[in-house]
Structure 1
């Protein structure tokens, strides 16, 4: 009997090499050693990334008085053929050194938006930049590859915008043995490097957050760098094997895929690297890009790692009934409260 088309994902997964299982070890000492190995493997999977300077040399392009905060426009050379533009929002009141949020914008096919998400409601119930400033946070956001001011600045030139430019950027990086995702996260870490140099910022109190692609950027940043003290990832906690089984690869663009990663581990190993720092995940039960079975598998694997630190309460993974790929006012309020209490 011919196999039905609906069984293709599970069939491909069953025929692929098995993904090594991830399980928390019995002792913290063993985990700390394993953690170093997982982080090194994750870095290697991202590819042969160009080294980044200890502190990017950022150029302040303009300053604008926005009443209760100052908006700075800046850019830095990423050392890989591109200039990264960004926004820095600086509250006027409060202590001289303030907590800060590295804000990671989403994808949504909205290539012209990028960092402008700080001032829009394309992804959130209210413009997140000014809202976080009112909470007393310095806020920084950059345009990811192919977004905002970088749309049409890929290797295909100005004639390639949107998805076409993203595809060409992926092709280019694959030829050089690296992933577009690795290059995107590298830029995010350069933005974090810059944020830590600012005299207005208390570098010991930095959080990172985003929805969708921004959520995935959030948990990868938390995995690869110990400087962020907490993170909130909304609407994108995706276990890769479960995404394949649900035939959901179409829900994520080419930028998202890291060659060879499943030869070593799945999402739970990456997320576990954030422990014991507080992490909040909020995902809709009906979000097709993050199958619920995978979210539960991640929870079951990561929670014991937090338990090794006696920090299980700092790992909060909420599956919200009846919701899809959205960011509701209640979720946004919980994000703001999370950062108020932990930064």
Structure 2
């Protein structure tokens, strides 16, 4: 991997035309992801509607062709009177599949104690999707595949695999921890199932997230020319894919998920979920180059210097790769990468930078 550039890298000298490269590389990436075709817009149900902390909140759900309904939270300013920019906000992985949207939202004054702790640990105590909505955005937060409403239900697997657990356990810390341990150990089974079905985990993520993007863009109060996405960790992975593959995303901010395939080969594969991997692709595009497919559209990458999921040299090399791509495209001012002190997180300082970046490119 060190001896040559990936075959579809824009850094190769033979690629001189940005649009030609993007079209060719995007076709190959799409093939490697083996994205399921579920693009028909589902019926969206509004299950609840109320106001909270100056925001209009809608609890939504929609049925995909497989599995249980996807649940989502939509947040928007209570007094909004004109079309606003939209944000597709992705929750993190965090080794916690029992929860999804609740990780980055707050819809009442008594959130689950585990989510209060989660937000304190990773987000400086903020529900960042709410904070972004307060700035004048329509924010949609969907549950990801295998999380919360989309999680693997124990009743759907053989009893011999359930380890004595049931779906009817009370929502307390002990039972949630037991489910999350079970779900973590089930990841390799899910990955093998998806590979056997002719698809990939990132491909399924993208297909479901693209439906969520379709739903966000169909909202009358959303300006479809001002759409962004972002998220921490697993949400950063989904941002890389969505930002790289769908040109409707005019501004992308992945947080705590940017490195090289080499980092995973040599150093950090053991720290990562099966949700990350796409067979054969590393020979053709390095991981940062997936996000680089959106060049020259605005992109902000936020890293933490002591993030144990990655090595600092490879995070820095990923920045160098994206810098070279944007420079070659003549769009250097549209790319920025920041390194913040500390461990894996999206804290208040990072949120401030991310929100300012969204404002700069989506509110101009």
In the superposition, the TM-score normalised over structure 1's length comes to 0.87
In 2 relative to 1, CA 337–193 (structure 1 residues): closer, same or farther, beyond 3 Å? Answer: same
Residue pairs, 1:47-58, within 5 angstroms: 47=34, 49-58=35-44
Deviation at 1:164, TM superposition (A): 3.8
CA contact under 8 A between 2:83 and 2:221: conserved in structure 1? yes
Deviation at 1:127, TM superposition (A): 0.9
In structure 2, what is the Cα distance between the partners aligned to 1:71 and 1:62? 8
CA contact under 8 A between 1:102 and 1:141: conserved in structure 2? yes
In structure 2, what is the Cα distance between the partners aligned to 1:258 and 1:217? 13
In structure 2, what is the Cα distance between the partners aligned to 1:299 and 1:27? 22
In structure 2, what is the Cα distance between the partners aligned to 1:268 and 1:129? 25
Which stretch shifts more, 132-141 or 164-173?
Answer: 164-173
Which stretch shifts more, 91-100 or 302-311?
Answer: 302-311
RMSD over aligned CA atoms reads 2.5
In 2 relative to 1, CA 60–39 (structure 1 residues): closer, same or farther, beyond 3 Å? Answer: same
CA contact under 8 A between 2:15 and 2:21: conserved in structure 1? no
Q: Which residue of 1 aligns with 2:56?
A: 70
Deviation at 1:215, TM superposition (A): 0.8
Among 326, 347, 355, which residue is 1:328 paired with? Answer: 347
In 2 relative to 1, CA 340–318 (structure 1 residues): closer, same or farther, beyond 3 Å? Answer: same
Deviation at 1:28, TM superposition (A): 8.5
In 2 relative to 1, CA 272–67 (structure 1 residues): closer, same or farther, beyond 3 Å? Answer: closer
Deviation at 1:257, TM superposition (A): 1.3
Q: Which sections of structure 2, spanning at least 5 residues, go unmatched?
A: 107-114, 166-178
Q: Which residue of 1 aligns with 2:304?
A: 284
CA contact under 8 A between 2:8 and 2:25: conserved in structure 1? no
CA contact under 8 A between 1:207 and 1:230: conserved in structure 2? yes
Among 35, 40, 43, which residue is 2:27 paired with? Answer: 40
In structure 2, what is the Cα distance between the partners aligned to 1:192 and 1:157? 34
In 2 relative to 1, CA 27–240 (structure 1 residues): closer, same or farther, beyond 3 Å? Answer: closer
CA contact under 8 A between 2:36 and 2:203: conserved in structure 1? no
CA contact under 8 A between 1:106 and 1:123: conserved in structure 2? no
SS at match of 2:17: helix
Q: Is 1:245 paired with 2:245?
A: no
Q: Which residue of 1 aligns with 2:232?
A: 211
In structure 2, what is the Cα distance between the partners aligned to 1:85 and 1:179? 22
CA contact under 8 A between 2:67 and 2:150: conserved in structure 1? no
Among 80, 83, 93, which residue is 1:97 paired with? Answer: 83
Residue pairs, 1:78-89, within 5 angstroms: 78-89=64-75
Spell out, residue by residue over 1:87-108, the C-alpha distance to the aligned partner (whole angstroms, 9 max, x if none): 1112222332111111001011
In structure 1, what is the Cα distance between the partners aligned to 2:337 and 2:232? 14
In structure 2, what is the Cα distance between the partners aligned to 1:230 and 1:85? 24
Deviation at 1:156, TM superposition (A): 2.8
In structure 2, what is the Cα distance between the partners aligned to 1:340 and 1:250? 37
In the superposition, the TM-score normalised over structure 2's length comes to 0.82
Deviation at 1:24, TM superposition (A): 3.0
In structure 2, what is the Cα distance between the partners aligned to 1:328 and 1:65? 26
Q: Which residue of 2 aligns with 1:298?
A: 318
In structure 2, what is the Cα distance between the partners aligned to 1:95 and 1:203? 16
Q: Which residue of 2 aligns with 1:124?
A: 123
In structure 2, what is the Cα distance between the partners aligned to 1:323 and 1:98? 34
In structure 2, what is the Cα distance between the partners aligned to 1:221 and 1:81? 22
In structure 2, what is the Cα distance between the partners aligned to 1:289 and 1:338? 25
Deviation at 1:17, TM superposition (A): 10
Deviation at 1:202, TM superposition (A): 0.7
Q: Which residue of 2 aligns with 1:273?
A: 293
Residue pairs, 1:8-19, within 5 angstroms: 19=6
In structure 2, what is the Cα distance between the partners aligned to 1:192 and 1:170? 24
Q: Which sections of structure 1, spanning at least 5 residues, go unmatched?
A: 1-12
Among 90, 96, 109, which residue is 2:95 paired with? Answer: 109
In structure 2, what is the Cα distance between the partners aligned to 1:205 and 1:103? 14
